[in-house]
Structure 1
């Protein structure tokens, strides 16, 4: 098993590294982590002034030429997939291009490999190894980076196996051991950024911004806010270039789940004191196996699969709706099951947190959907858009959202694959010029990634009822907080909250039990 995910390495949404000390159990050596001021950004590696701008433009042009050289022939040769004798050869070529063409294409391949509902099982299988097995860099570069970050002391304190246990688009991971004060050795995972990764991401982001500008000119697509999507995606990828941010995210996730009950318990690696730096992160080793490997031990529909997926769904709902701080890169390669049967989430670099207003609006919209008041939900979406004056036929938009919600009411399994809902909302937004908020898009993409992981393990997993209980509870809590200062007594509110939550909790339990009986 691997102790740290390699796929993404460290982007986040502002977790404070100063909170590292004291956030974890006393026996875990936690870093007095370096501050996030002066993050290792793309701009920091470029010359200042005009020289930096010119270098960035030249790199972007060269990157464009490279991608055209490798992608145009690949696309032109796609008809070869129609013949069995050349099909495997073309797909091998496609995988090779994806794994050697930088972080962006690897991210896309990772996403595709986790969506058997969108692509054939054969396609998913061909790309699946990219979740944690991209081409690694050589050991001498790792040794130089360790020297750069920690000086020569690491050679006497840290033993590192020179063969990587995982390699992703941003970093690769080694297994190691760290000397303890009593002379014992603590198993650790050592994550190291790839060489020149900032330069490659810089060029990809410039290309994405250019493409987003072109898409913005298309009448329908511009309402999906492609520029905003790229801006948010860029922000996350840039923050992946400083592993101190991932350390902060790990500490915060661990604190958030410290008191979680068994149904939502998740474990995370812990950063190690004195070994948290921009380019190298040393953390405790999670002894386990990838979710897909673990699931392969059990037949389709086995209760073990169902229970683990239920825990994963509940944990994600807690992160998204309760904590407002959620893992944004939960493809199957970043989800492990430990030797003790615990669910573990690795590679917590991409963590997303919203403003109170955006998070409140998300809860309000989903609460409208759960009450089957789609029209009110549509009005909330319009209220959240930046360009309300450009909305074409607000009544028509809200009516489409209402029809979607009524469809869900009449077909209870409609929301079980949440991407159906997201696709219909985006289509209605294009039709009626409702500029989608960046936050909604990032939530949608994260949900799609999680849904892909769930579908692979448990195709019939019941998602909606489990989410309902959490959403309703948070909605009532927020309403209660708003009313506390205005009403002398909140007894009725608390009683209503308990009854409402219990109703949806019973519904979730009943749906899970029914599914378990069918599986049995």
Structure 2
């Protein structure tokens, strides 16, 4: 299994370096073997054609294709000059073009939607609804890929396999299945600490018999397509960077960082190891969970993990919006979501980078009176989830949840799709905590100074003194609201600060912004569940209770 390279500043960066080195070594070995064979002259010609003819031609072809796709965007630029309505129309045209341009550009749009420090808010909001138009790849390809991965005929791998994907993304698609006894019998078991017990117990490196699993299969040729797209993006970024007023954005650097994010998702072992680390970080929390990755079956193109059978958070939020969610359950869920995030941010420094409601599920378990063990079994938990998902309407679902609450069941929050995480290196972590503490103390001027001093390029900032004064004024307004309403939205504060960052050309670290975006998403979910939720207060309470690790 993949191991992080020691040269990485963070666990994730170490995995990226190792994954890329392994890919380069495999490529080099493949060519070395063939160039040492008796047919080496044929391979020399073939590799020359691939490197200097076919690949460049494919890249040029892709460039032409993208030029046609984005031509309407260029032709309608003047539309954006005619007020807010024209601007919104142009942003919509851009979104449609990104959706039609394929996996890389859908991901690019989703990344851009999170960068309110670079792009206008209206554009980020439009791109926030960007969806992949990716078509599911063929079942025959899936069967071939799985047979090759498991080293068995497809019919011998599974006891049951749902041939319809439960999800199709830009890079991969997901199926549900049950592994066969033949596959399970060949797995070694490893003893690790199981958080459902006070004792060391056997925790399987494979699912139990008859246990449903989720299987993610990479789309064919997606790696080559993404690498070509990154070349095209880099060309345009370099062209834009020549414009005098645009150099502060450092778009070539941003494309490079985006390329790293894409490559992280092209090795599914990284997602498996992320899940494993999240499980380790939360091993003492009975009410937060992540799917168990079955590392024995995972490789670069295949991920096999525990299937999470639960209610999607979006369904819970719909209940709340219709006043059909009891207050006790609302508060428990809000507290658990926020506390689990603060654990990611403060204690773990390992933050899920895609915390929208579709990636959060809720299951129900029955704890003992001390809340230090779970009395209900996994079978009971899954039976409850299945029954809740079969509810005919919100009224019936609300009634079922009320009964569970009365019976002493507690919500368990489960996070899925951990392909991308955010880690702050030592420098950025110190900077972030210093900024957050300045905001918690309502010292706006100091917060503004810190943001400029510790930005990527302090020299590109426009009017740093005015920026610090604006930050002070903004924090003072928030402070006054705190004393009158009793709560303050840290998300609202950080969101406004990112808008000011864009105006004053303050270049923030990408990981730093990712943390801010995660705060915005989680606080939004927490406040929908509990409008009185105060992230500032939870931050203070959490740090007093747990402290802030030095590393």
Q: TM-score, normalised by structure 2?
A: 0.65
Relative contact order (alpha carbons < 8 A, sep ≥ 6): 1 or 2 greater?
Answer: 1
Quick check: 1:295–1:305 contact (8 Å CA) kept in 2?
A: no
- d(CA) in 2 for partners of 1:245, 1:460: 36
SS of match in other structure, 2:354: coil
Q: Deviations over 1:362-393 (max 9, x none)?
A: 11111111111122223322332344455555
What's the CA shift for 1:174? Answer: 0.5
What is the aligned counterpart of 2:311 among 289, 296, 299?
A: 289
Match for residue 451 of structure 2 among 381, 388, 397: 381
Contact 1:170/1:197 (8 A) holds in 2: yes
Q: SS in structure 2 opposite 1:396?
A: helix
> Matches of 2:495 and 2:95 in 1, distance apart?
29
Contact 1:176 1:188 (C-alpha < 8 Å) held by counterparts: yes
Greater Cα radius of gyration, structure 1 or 2: 2
Count of equivalent residues: 434
In structure 1, the residue matched to 2:147 is 147
**CA separation of 1:143 and 1:469: change in aligned 2, threshold 3 A:** same
Judging changes above 3 Å, is the alpha-carbon distance between structure 1 residues 76 and 193 closer, same or farther for their aligned structure 2 residues?
same
Partner of 2:12: 13
Deviations 1:218-263 (A, max 9, x none): 5665445544433322211111001111110000001111113x6x
Aligned Cα root-mean-square deviation (Å):
4.5
Corresponding residue SS for 1:385: coil
Larger CA deviation: 379-388 vs 466-475? 466-475
1:24-79 CA distance string (max 9 Å, x none)? xxxxxxxxxxx857455899599978954765554443333323333444887999
- 1:191 matches 2:216: yes
Is the partner of 2:296 in helix, strand or coil?
A: strand
CA distance in 1, matches of 2:165, 2:112: 24
Q: Is this contact kept in 2: 1:329–1:348, CA < 8 A?
A: yes
5+ residue gaps, structure 1, are 1-11, 18-34, 80-89, 483-520
| Deviates further, 336-345 or 460-469 | 460-469
Q: Give the TM-score taking structure 1 as reference length.
A: 0.69
Q: Note if contact 1:415-1:421 (Cα within 8 Å) is conserved in structure 2.
A: no
Distance 1:284 1:452 in 2: 28
Q: Which of 533, 537, 545 is residue 462 of structure 1 equivalent to?
A: 533
Q: How does 1:345-424 map to 2 (within 5 A)?
A: 345-389=415-459, 391=461, 393-412=463-482, 416=489, 418=491, 420-424=493-497
> 2:316 & 2:459 partners in 1: Cα distance?
52
Contact 1:136 1:167 in 2 (8 A): yes
Shift of 1:360: 1.4
Q: Which runs of 5+ in 2 are unaligned?
A: 1-10, 32-45, 80-89, 116-120, 186-207, 364-384, 386-409
SS in structure 2 at match of 1:287? coil
Equivalent-residue separation in structure 1 for 2:217 and 2:175 (angstroms): 8
Distance 1:194 1:306, change over 3 A: farther
Secondary structure of 2:258 counterpart: helix
1:337 and 2:362 correspond? yes
Structure 1 distance, partners of 2:515, 2:47, is 36
Provide the C-alpha distance between the structure 1 equivalents of 2:442 and 2:419, rounded to a whole number of angstroms: 36
Give the distance between the partners of 2:418 and 2:490, measured in 1 at CA. Answer: 24
